[in-house]
Amino acid sequence: MFSLPLSDTADLRPLEVRHAEEFAAHMDRAREHIRPWVGSTFVSEDLDGARSTLRRYADRQAADGARLYGIWLDGVLVGGTLFAKFDVGAGTCEVGCWLEPSAEGRGLITRACRTLLDWAFVERGMHRAEWLCRADNERSAAVAARLGMTLEGVLREVWSYEGKRYDEQVWSVLASEWRSDGAEAQEPRSA
């Protein structure tokens, strides 16, 4: 297993089935905060649901697909990043994230996502990475911009939440555009 430092007090590690109890406790703290912004199948309601979510990602990773990583702050799971999609044959992946309120504003998500993108482009030879978020999720869009992604467009009313439809932004960065040194553009680019 690996652990990569994100700060003096935070690290990034694989989030595995063995972390089910910790993930369930984290979901109890984060559930209502993240529910509007993440897929409904990700938000676990109890220990069995947490175990099922982690097992689903473990199975997908075993098939060289989606992957899940946790962010621990002072030894407590507070969020994470993931490859929601990872298609080696097509050379494309989708990066995502979530974080409980107590850990926001520390730059952890940007650093963690930069680590995932480095690995995808440099180690795995991906050609394109995508970032999808509800159009009204300003924090998520700001991370995509900090990562140097280009806003390609908006899928109108594709995201359903509590009986209402929301637009979804599509951001991307190509391997030829990627810089891992943190010097990416801070302002969003449009295609």
Residues 80-101 have pLDDT tens digits of 999 999 999 999 999 999 999 9
Above 80 in pLDDT, residue 68?
yes
Q: pTM for this structure?
A: 0.90
Q: Where are the domains of the chain?
A: 4-190
Q: What is the DSSP string of the chain?
A: ---EESSSSEEEEE--GGGHHHHHHHHHHHHHHHTTTS-TTT---SHHHHHHHHHHHHHHHHTT--EEEEEEETTEEEEEEEEEEEETTTTEEEEEEEE-GGGTTSSHHHHHHHHHHHIIIIIS--SEEEEEEETT-HHHHHHHHHTT-EEEEEEEEEEEETTEEEEEEEEEEEGGG--TTS---SS-EE-
Which pLDDT belongs to residue 169?
98
3-state class of 161 per DSSP?
strand
Which pLDDT belongs to residue 4?
93
Cα dihedral angle (112, 72, 45, 99), rounded to 10 degrees? -40
pLDDT tens track for 99-155 = 999 999 999 999 999 999 999 999 999 999 999 999 999 999 999 999 999 999 999
3-state class of 187 per DSSP?
coil
Residue type, 112: A
Pairing of strands 150-161, 67-73: unpaired
Which pLDDT belongs to residue 42?
86
Identify the CATH assignment for 4-190 out of 3.40.50.300, 3.40.50.1000, 3.40.630.30, 3.30.70.141: 3.40.630.30
Counting residues of the chain whose pLDDT is more than 70, the rounded percentage is 93
Pairing of strands 92-99, 76-87: antiparallel
